[in-house]
Structure 1
Amino acid sequence: MPRPSMTAWLLAAAAAIVPVSSPAREVDDSYTIGQRFEGYRDRYQGIAWPAVTWSGGQSVLFDRPYKNTGSRDLHLDVFRPAPGVAGGAKRQGVVLVHGGAWRAGNKSHFYALANLLAQRGYTVFLPEFRLSPEARYPAGMIDIGDALAWARAHAAEFGLDPGRIAVGGASSGGQMASLLAYAGPSGLFGAGRERRANALVDLDGVLDFTTAQALAFENAAGDASPAGTWLGGSYEHAAARWREASAASHVGAGMPPTLIVSSGIARFTEGRDKVVAALERHGVPHRTFAFTNAPHDFWLFEPWLPQVAEQIDTFLSSLPASKDSPK
């Protein structure tokens, strides 16, 4: 009887010890940091890859599961500050939602920024979530809401105040973070109290899908546009959903303190004026900052990246204790 090949033996052994895998799913890998750098290097003088330097005592927990969708686990990475970080480790956490036009991107895109924030004393949570090729709106919103709820529930484990967990994001992730921050407490994406952030950080994320300027870009390809694909149809076919998915549709007295950092390219922060007016009307702390001559993905590259960390740190450090904080 012939002996089985080494390949056949290894496959049989793997089948015996590895559980059945999750169903295959479509993955869009069109949005990468390298692809963006190549597109920008001749347009923005001084652009450079960030140098990620670790400080002694820092730690990172990779791929901790925070929920199961019914077909697979979703994971998050946790960047923790060193115990002896200058100024002391803060009790403030930040959940950061990556960009990629709701269809691509990866939590690893925030590693450089998460590292800088951890060195300033913050604990940073980077969740994966279902993108539009796998599941359309509101699946991804429910996922990031669950990630925020997970961070709040595990706050004591990380030495955090559960009432001081902010949510932020960049580009489409900024849009999602803004929507969660403003609509999450209403229960739109799950139990409201667990989805209450003490602050919002929006990095070039659209705040209102329904303005003429936003529609000119986000709805240009109709049902096939990235936003149309995520929302299940063009604005003409799903207007109510486009309005619901606009953070500016949920402004009110419960808005958290808000930081909006812009590349200076107006289309990416459409709705900002309406949101800022509401924040001022309700006396909610807020700050806006705009770069000049910066790429849309400014948070990925030097020289803008450290300035983003500085803006976030300055803003979050200025906030009073949340009313959700333990007395």
Structure 2
Amino acid sequence: MAGWLLAACLSPAGMAGPTAAREVDDSYTIGQRFAQYQDKYPGIAWPAVTWQEGQSVLFDRPYKTADGRDLHIDVFRPAKPGKQGIVMVHGGAWRAGDKSHFYALAGLLAQRGYTVFLPEFRLSPEAAYPAGMIDIGDALAWARNHAASFGIDPRRIAIGGASSGGQMAALLAYAGPSGRFGPGDERTAAALIDLDGVLDFTTPQALSFENAAGEASPAARWLGGSYGNAAVRWRDASAAAHVGPASPPTLIVSSGIPRFTEGKNAVIAALERHAIAHRFHAFANAPHDFWLFEPWLPQVANEIDGFLSTLPAPREGASR
């Protein structure tokens, strides 16, 4: 359900004072999804999150100010940095969700040597497209600009996400270098990881779901109107429309439910046409939110590690 959050800030005198209330949709939670899935998927279980000696987490580092409030990023650090970085964008139908939903996956990736950045960003109840895209672009830029302090190469930071976050990550990966969400050189990702995120809003299959409720659909609320009233924006926000010769290597992991990766065939065809490394993996019988639960969670971490580990290191002098 949606609610209102009254945030606090420091007044000039240093005293805490209220800012304007903002709407928060808390309808999407891990507990709610587990209850929905436990009778449908035998063997589903809460992940057992363990800690590896030397791991660390930096919580709630402010990375930008937007609409009068700070946006924060969590950084999961491996015991021995030196591998790649990954910025992961949470899901929640562009209107809900939280960066904490990726804590279990970020922990597993950190144990495999990755530095993982989990940004907060503005959701549709607070600000419509492209505000959230600008935010995650700024989060990627922040990660690149701070890479040295985390012991990673700024040219080796991937962008990834799940569900609506996967859609956003794909759009940033393919369209971000053009500069439409901020300076393109800072918004260039080394790779894309899309976990069940739609890649083309405009296919008949995608429209039958994403546009079914018209102006009330989550996509319409985010994009500022239904497809009938904002078709240009729906096309522009479709990652498949932006694949080109400079697009990054791409991993798409699917629940096996086709609607959530609509557009993947066009994306894969374009990547093959431009000889760009890519991999598609589909689970046989998994819930949409497979990255949240056992037994799929560690398999997702293995898929990500397995793909990123195959990518060559950037050439000396390369700016990407």
TM range (shorter): over 0.9
SS in 1 for 2:16: coil
Choose the corresponding residue for 1:39, options 32, 36, 39: 36
**Aligned counterpart for 1:225 among listed residues 217, 222, 232:** 217
- Separation (CA, whole Å) in 2 of partners of 1:158 and 1:132: 31
The alpha carbon displacement at 1:321 in A equals: 1.6
Amino acid at match of 1:137: Y
* Cross-structure match for 2:195: 203
Instruction: Describe the superposition over 1:304-326 as per-residue Cα deviations: whole angstroms up to 9, x where unpaired.
Output: 00000000000001101235757
Flag the structure with higher strand content: 2
Are the structure 2 counterparts of residues 147 and 15 from structure 1 closer, same or farther at C-alpha, using a change threshold of 3 Å? closer
One of 66, 69, 81 as aligned partner of 1:72: 69
Is the 1:167–1:197 contact (alpha carbons within 8 Å) kept by the matching residues of 2? yes
SS at match of 1:188: coil
**Aligned-residue offset at 1:19:** 3.1
Other-structure match for 1:291: 283
Give the 5 Å matches for 1:222-301. Answer: 222-301=214-293
Deviations 1:190-237 (A, max 9, x none): 000000000000000000000000000000001110000000000000
1:107 to 91, 96, 99: 99
Name 1:214's counterpart in structure 2.
206
The whole-number CA distance in structure 1 between the counterparts of 2:247 and 2:12 is 51
Instruction: Give the SS at the match of 2:154.
Output: coil
Secondary structure of the residue that 2:31 maps to in structure 1? helix
Which one of 305, 317, 320 corresponds to residue 313 of structure 1? 305
Aligned counterpart, 2:186: 194
In structure 2, the residue matched to 1:86 is: none
> Using a 3 Å threshold, how does the CA distance of structure 1 residues 150 and 15 change in structure 2: closer, same or farther?
closer
**Residues 29 and 104 of structure 1 are in contact (CA less than 8 Å); yes or no, is this contact kept in structure 2?**
yes
Match of 1:21 in 2: 18
- Tell me if the contact between 1:161 and 1:325 (Cα under 8 Å) persists in the aligned partners: no
User: Mind listing any 5+ residue stretches in structure 1 that lack a counterpart?
Assistant: 1-13, 84-88
- Residues paired across the two proteins, number: 309
Contact 1:162 1:325 in 2 (8 A): no
Any residues of structure 2 matched to 1:58-207 within 5 Å, and which?
58-83=55-80, 89-207=81-199
Misfit runs of 4+, over 6 Å: none
How many percent identity over aligned positions?
Answer: 75
Counterpart of 2:7 in structure 1 is none
TM-score, normalised relative to structure 2: 0.94
**Preserved contact between residue 48 and residue 302 of structure 1 (Cα < 8 Å):** yes
Residue in 2 that maps onto 1:50: 47
Residue 16 of structure 1: how far off its partner (Å)? 7.4
Show CA shifts across 1:218-265 (max 9, x none): 000011100000000000000000000000010110110000000000
In 2: Cα distance, 1:68 partner to 1:16 partner:
20
Distance of aligned partners of 1:21 and 1:156 in 2 relative to their CA distance in 1, 3 Å threshold: farther
Paired AA for residue 82 in structure 2: K
Inter-partner Cα distance in structure 2 for 1:31 and 1:70:
24
> Rg bigger for which structure?
1
Please say if 1:304 is aligned against 2:283: no
CA contact (8 A) 1:164 1:325 kept: no
Instruction: Name the CA distance, whole Å, in 1 between partners of 2:42 and 2:76.
Output: 31
User: Do the aligned residues in 2 keep the contact of 1:109 with 1:300 (CA within 8 Å)?
Assistant: yes
* Greater mean deviation of Cα atoms: 50-59 or 210-219: 50-59
Shift, 1:189, TM fit: 0.4
Q: Which residue of 2 aligns with 1:5?
A: none
CA distances 1:111-156 after superposition (whole Å, capped 9, x unpaired): 0000000000000000000000000000000000000000000000
> 1:129 is paired with a residue of what secondary structure?
coil
